[in-house]
A and B are shown apart, each in its own frame.
Chain A
Amino acid sequence: MNKILSKQIIATNTKRVEIASEVIARRAKAGQFVMVMPDAKSEKIPLAIVDADSKRGTIILIFEEAGETTKKLGALSIGSEIFSILGPLGMPAQMPTVSVVLCVGYGIYISQMLSMCKAYRKTGCKVVGLIGAKTKNSLILEARMRMACNKLYVVTDDGTYERKGFVSAVLPEIIKKESVNLLCAAAPVSMLEEISKITKERELKTLIQLNPTMVDGIGLCGSCRVKVEGESILACVDGPQFDAHKVDFSELTARAQL
């Protein structure tokens, strides 16, 4: 169980692993995540389920080797087993029926948008993607996003690839040009806040994927609480998708420094 079947470096310090987990693959839906412990002594961390193949019985995880735990995970070799994976967790993403959805992802967070794009595509709506990265070498999943979306925009902060600019800077133009009815986004909190401001002015419904700290992922620790319209909601059991216009961003920003 939990055997690593393949491992690839897909961008600077970023790895993609395919893991055998029949039970999780069978039930995983867009927007859900798993809690992962590389070994018995390591920290338990949440990671989005990037893709799930119920026929092969496998799931895909993508992670940036930023901290001790992701480094441990990245160091596991093909054929070895991950100590603990629990999932799928969280509520599946809402899929409101719309004609055009814009899926925005930045950096490592693009990994949370792929399953979303695929799921929307199945509902029959037009899926427009907008992905961005700091620089060319840190852009991930471009080819897969192209396959999943009807149309894909790509930007880099430094202009080393495709169009130069921040995701939030090109957003108003794309929303207008593509007549977007719904926006889904996964990005760092500060960028989500900017996106939320832009769409609020335009009264465009916006659903965001949040990534607060979690200890257990099953609703016991309360660490992942997010204030939504004055009420604390747990991202692990009621999220991780939230209505951007209802989230208290100042608190989210403060808690993101944990």
Chain B
Amino acid sequence: MMPKGAMPTQPSQKRAKNFSEVALGFSKKQAVEEALRCPQPLKPEHSNRCPLGVDVFSFIRFIREGNLSAALEKIKEANPLPGVCGRICSAPCEKDLYENEHWSVAVRGLERYVADNVNQKIKKNSAAAFGENGGSGGRKVAVIGSGPAGLVAAHDLARLGYTVTIFEALHASGGVLRYGIPEFRLPKKVLDNEIMYIQSLGIKIETNVFIGQTITIDELFKSGFAAVYLATGSGVPVPLGIPGENLPGVFSMSEFLMRVNLAQPLKLGKKVAVIGSGGIGVDCARVALRLGCEVVVVFERSEEELTPQEQELKYAKEEGVKFEFFTKPLEILAGEGNRTRGVRCVKVDFADPHSTGEWKLVTVEGSEFVLDADTIVVSSGHKPNTFVSKFTDGLKVIDSGVFEIQENSFATSVPGVFAGGDAAIGAGPLIKAMASAKKAVLEIDQYLKTKKA
């Protein structure tokens, strides 16, 4: 594959000791060079590979022409969070940009280049400007949760002319983008700027409101909201289910990241073991490293199956995070004063025990060992946050843990209440959650148009 342009980074020795951004962004020269590597699509159907509908080829053409504000405008037609997505999107567009061709372009990096190098104009009175094209008469819609899905939905609803209030339970907005993503991957300043832009469209964000507890959904309708969109995300940690998981010194990845991101006190030891997979585990490991700990990531499967975004695993290794692949945790061991002293692990490997051609992971006999660690971070997955259903009559949650939604629709079991993002489609990539919010907005608009006030 023709490799895409690599972004300059902070030197690994230096960055392992600070929380500043790792990837530094393209220079003008690099960005233009990268943009020049992106010819226009051969077939029109290739022109839109972004789940969110960002017109990739057009905005890259503007970069080539040196017209960055036009490029930003183009991105923002579909995506109100270019600085965020330009950093942490899984960028499926890069893989699919040229079907059947071994060519890749750093679309994500270019998006970031645009977001970072154009002064995002905070529009004044733009809500009024938007109001004209919707004909929705400024009817009120409540968005629950200020994470990626909530922000996209609010933005798109405001564009259609609705008056939008976002309700957020935490004291700060941004959802997982704030409490879950480490500063060195997504600086809070970038997030703050994009939220400020969204607020400039006339969208109100009310923090410290737990819908269901502080205000019920019923009360929202009574106070004049015509529809409710639930974008409560999937921030509820799933336990690993091994003995010792509740010992002091064992954190869920959510608690660990939240304490660091929201500047809450955190008692760490010297040796940290991160148990689990995926990008979040790698994030936790790199955070712990920056806090001065020795870090080992324990992962039950192969390196190829550990699926952080490309680069992130490479960055983590360069910084000094150690990995134990094909290692299964069996038990977290208690030491003095019931504090964690390590993880009892066993090695696993692929085998075909019954010679049936079904290769699976089996434990390697006699390979048990104890991994010393005084702090454990469990990153074994997270599930949808549907707590609001506890306090809302008729709001159903299905077995898989998401809100019950009607087929081919985002309508929940309560009329006028829609759900989207991870809370409706399950935990997944950021861009999918954002794309689902876009679809739900069209549906909410349709619903409100047929149900005139």
Enumerate chain A interface residues (CB-CB to B < 8 A): 23-24, 27, 37, 40-41, 43-44, 83-89, 215-216, 218-223, 225, 227, 232, 237, 251, 254-255, 257-258
CA gap between A27 and B219 in the complex, in Å: 12
* Cβ contacts under 8 Å, A232 to chain B: 239, 245-246
**Nearest opposing residue in chain B for A37, CB measure:** B171
CA gap between A251 and B251 in the complex, in Å: 15
Binds A, one of B36-44, B259-267, B366-374, B397-405: B259-267
CB of B446 within 8 Å of the partner chain: no
Q: Is the CB of A221 within 8 A of B255?
A: yes
Q: Is the CB of B237 within 8 A of A222?
A: yes
Given contacts A88-B214, A221-B252, contact A254 B267 (CB under 8 A): no
CA gap between A257 and B336 in the complex, in Å: 13
Q: Is the CB of A88 within 8 A of B213?
A: yes
Point out the residue from B247, B258, B265, B334 that lies within 8 Å of A216, measured CB to CB: B258
**Nearest opposing residue in chain A for B337, CB measure:** A257
CA gap between A250 and B254 in the complex, in Å: 25
Q: Is the CB of B254 within 8 A of A84?
A: no
Taking A221-B259, A232-B245 as given, write out 6 further A-B residue pairs in contact, using a Cβ cutoff of 8 Å, ordered by the A residue number.
A84-B171, A84-B208, A220-B258, A222-B255, A232-B246, A254-B246
CB of B390 within 8 Å of the partner chain: yes
Q: Is the CB of A254 within 8 A of B213?
A: no
**Nearest opposing residue in chain B for A226, CB measure:** B246
5 closest A-B pairs by beta carbon, nearest first, are A221-B255, A84-B171, A222-B252, A254-B338, A220-B235
Contact count A vs B, C-beta below 8 Å: 93
Point out the residue from A85, A219, A254, A255 that lies within 8 Å of B236, measured CB to CB: A219
Q: Is the CB of A215 within 8 A of B213?
A: no
CA gap between A215 and B265 in the complex, in Å: 9
Q: Which secondary structure dominates chain B's binding surface? A: loop
CB of B170 within 8 Å of the partner chain: yes
Point out the residue from B171, B251, B337 that lies within 8 Å of A83, measured CB to CB: B171
* Cβ contacts under 8 Å, B215 to chain A: 23
Q: Is the CB of B385 within 8 A of A219?
A: yes
CB of B363 within 8 Å of the partner chain: no
CA gap between A84 and B263 in the complex, in Å: 15
CA gap between A133 and B81 in the complex, in Å: 55
- 29 A–B contact pairs at CB < 8 A? A23-B209, A23-B215, A84-B171, A84-B208, A86-B209, A88-B213, A89-B213, A215-B258, A215-B259, A216-B169, A216-B179, A216-B258, A218-B387, A219-B385, A220-B235, A220-B236, A220-B237, A220-B254, A220-B258, A220-B385, A221-B258, A225-B239, A225-B246, A227-B246, A237-B390, A254-B247, A255-B248, A257-B337, A258-B267
CB of B221 within 8 Å of the partner chain: no
Interface size class for chain B? Answer: 35 or more
Q: Is the CB of B208 within 8 A of A215?
A: no
**Nearest opposing residue in chain A for B207, CB measure:** A84
CA gap between A23 and B212 in the complex, in Å: 12
Q: Is the CB of B210 within 8 A of A89?
A: yes
Enumerate chain B interface residues (CB-CB to A < 8 A): 169-171, 179, 207-210, 213-215, 235-237, 239, 245-248, 251-252, 254-255, 258-259, 262-265, 267, 334, 337-338, 385, 387, 390
CA gap between A218 and B386 in the complex, in Å: 11
Q: Is the CB of A219 within 8 A of B255?
A: no
* Cβ contacts under 8 Å, B214 to chain A: 23-24, 27, 86-88
Q: Is the CB of B210 within 8 A of A215?
A: no
Central interface residue in B236, B255, B258, by most chain A CB within 10 Å: B255
**Nearest opposing residue in chain A for B266, CB measure:** A215
Q: In the complex, how many angstroms separate the beta carbon of B395 from the nearest chain A beta carbon?
A: 15
Q: Is the CB of A86 within 8 A of B248?
A: no
**Nearest opposing residue in chain B for A238, CB measure:** B390
CA gap between A135 and B252 in the complex, in Å: 39
Given contacts A44-B171, A216-B170, contact A87 B213 (CB under 8 A): yes
CA gap between A23 and B223 in the complex, in Å: 13
Given contacts A216-B170, A218-B169, contact A255 B237 (CB under 8 A): no
**Nearest opposing residue in chain B for A89, CB measure:** B213
**Nearest opposing residue in chain A for B338, CB measure:** A254
* Cβ contacts under 8 Å, A43 to chain B: 264-265
CA gap between A40 and B390 in the complex, in Å: 30
CA gap between A41 and B171 in the complex, in Å: 11
Q: Is the CB of B263 within 8 A of A41?
A: yes
* Cβ contacts under 8 Å, A37 to chain B: 171
CA gap between A40 and B207 in the complex, in Å: 13
* Cβ contacts under 8 Å, A86 to chain B: 169-171, 208-210, 214
Q: Is the CB of B255 within 8 A of A223?
A: yes
**Nearest opposing residue in chain A for B259, CB measure:** A215
Point out the residue from A24, A88, A255 that lies within 8 Å of B246, measured CB to CB: A255
CA gap between A87 and B208 in the complex, in Å: 8
* Cβ contacts under 8 Å, A44 to chain B: 171, 262, 264
CA gap between A85 and B387 in the complex, in Å: 19
CA gap between A251 and B247 in the complex, in Å: 7
